[in-house]
Amino acid sequence: MSQFKRLFVMLGPQMRHTPALQRAAALAESNGALLDINVFVDDVDTFGLMSDSRERERLLSDNRQWLADEAEQLANAGLDVSTELLLTRDPLGSVLERVERLGCDLLIKDVQHEPVLKRLLVTPLDWQLLKDSPVAVHLVSDIRLPLPRQIAAAVDLNSHGAGEHLDEQVIHCAHALALQCNAELHLLHVCDAAKTHIADFGAGTVTMPGFDGNLRTAQRAAFNRLGDHHQIPLERRHFLEGPAIKAIAQFVGHSRADVIVMGSHRHDALQTFLGGTTAHVLEHPLCNVLAIKAVR
């Protein structure tokens, strides 16, 4: 049984039966979770598109009607559904306030692929959600089936402290989701020796003779201990090497993985290994990420 009991779906005014909504409806149906469907209309009139009050009201009216029709169809299918339409100048603040107020435990949204130049100037909303959301965030780019059939838990293998604890949370969440969806559970780790710093020697990223090999051996041993502990078959363990973002993107492209479950620290999600990697992995067009918040 999944730990997710109330699902918050965030949609834009032109979105209808998107991958995120399909995934959310399938998850709610599989375990009886409450489903909150929310359409956010950005009221910032950057290009004068909302200056015509009649056009604005038409847009809002169309979305109210669609939400009512969608709620009726889903309710007829046996789902417990609520809907809300919001005109706001602060989509991030509005969604976070509603998630907390409603007591939702999973935020589901379609991935919004932003041009590189725009990402340099403005932090993408998806990245902000990964950093600031108080609950798990499922960002959906593409789905083969409404329910995932292969779920990969991506672990950091931090040998102690918060990283180790977060790895356990990631595996626990991936395992619960796999049971709910009758999906395969896989374990994934990327060994990137180039990112390892020898801080004690003040050497920065200087590599000592044999260091790469020792690091690889130690991490592989830790990875297999983790796999053994959680009884994950050898053929479902994936120990990758190289830059994390590239390695995970290649794994997604060549595997049948439907969801990559990763960790994210609430306050430093874009600085930690898993936080920064999670944000950038989203750029892969086929990657669906479930980011788990660190809980002490």
DSSP for 257-283?
Answer: -SEEEEEE-SSSTTTSHHHHHHHHHTT
**pLDDT mean over 205-216:** 62
Q: pLDDT at position 144, please?
A: 84
Rounded CA-CA distance 187/137 in Å is 20
Q: pLDDT at position 220, please?
A: 94
* Residue owning tokens 């603040």: 93
% of the chain at pLDDT higher than 70: 76
Q: What are the pLDDT digits (tens) for 160-201?
A: 555 568 899 999 999 999 999 999 999 999 998 776 543 333
Does position 74 have pLDDT exceeding 80, yes or no?
A: yes
Instruction: Please give the structure tokens belonging to residue 105.
Output: 């435990």
Q: pLDDT at position 197, please?
A: 43
Choose among 16, 61, 62: nearest CA to 37: 16
Assign 46 a pLDDT band (cuts: 50, 70, 90): very low
Residue pair 159/222 in contact by the 8 Å Cβ criterion: yes
Question: Torsion angle of alpha carbons 18, 23, 29, 34, nearest 10°?
Answer: -80
Calculate the alpha carbon distances from 223 to 35, 161, 226 in Å: 36, 17, 5
Q: pLDDT at position 291, please?
A: 92
Calculate the alpha carbon distances from 43 to 69, 90, 107, 140 in Å: 24, 8, 22, 24
The residue with greater pLDDT, 52 or 162, is: 52
The residue with greater pLDDT, 36 or 52, is: 36
* 291: number of Cβ within 10 Å: 29
Q: What are the pLDDT digits (tens) for 215-252?
A: 889 999 999 999 999 999 999 999 999 888 888 888 98
Phi, psi angles (nearest 5°) of residue 186: -115, 155
Does position 263 have pLDDT exceeding 90, yes or no?
A: no
Q: What is the largest CA-CA distance in the chain?
A: 70
| Mean pLDDT comparison of 127-131, 155-159, 219-223, highest-scoring range | 219-223
Residues with Cβ < 8 Å from 147, sequence gap 6 or more?
A: 23, 26, 27, 30, 181, 182, 183
Choose among 283, 216, 276: nearest CA to 249: 283
Q: pLDDT at position 201, please?
A: 39
The residue with greater pLDDT, 117 or 136, is: 136
Angle formed at CA 129 by CA 107 and CA 131, multiple of 5 degrees: 125
Rounded CA-CA distance 54/83 in Å is 23
Does position 133 have pLDDT exceeding 70, yes or no?
A: yes
Residue pair 29/23 in contact by the 8 Å Cβ criterion: no
Rounded CA-CA distance 152/184 in Å is 8
Residue pair 238/186 in contact by the 8 Å Cβ criterion: yes
What is the C-alpha R_g of the chain? 20
Instruction: Please give the structure tokens belonging to residue 192.
Output: 């990137």
Residues with Cβ < 8 Å from 260, sequence gap 6 or more?
A: 152, 154, 188, 248, 252, 281, 287, 288, 289, 290
**C-alpha count within 13 angstroms, C-beta hemisphere, residue 157:** 22
Assign 115 a pLDDT band (cuts: 50, 70, 90): low
- Helical spans, DSSP H, in 106-210: 116-121, 125-132, 162-181
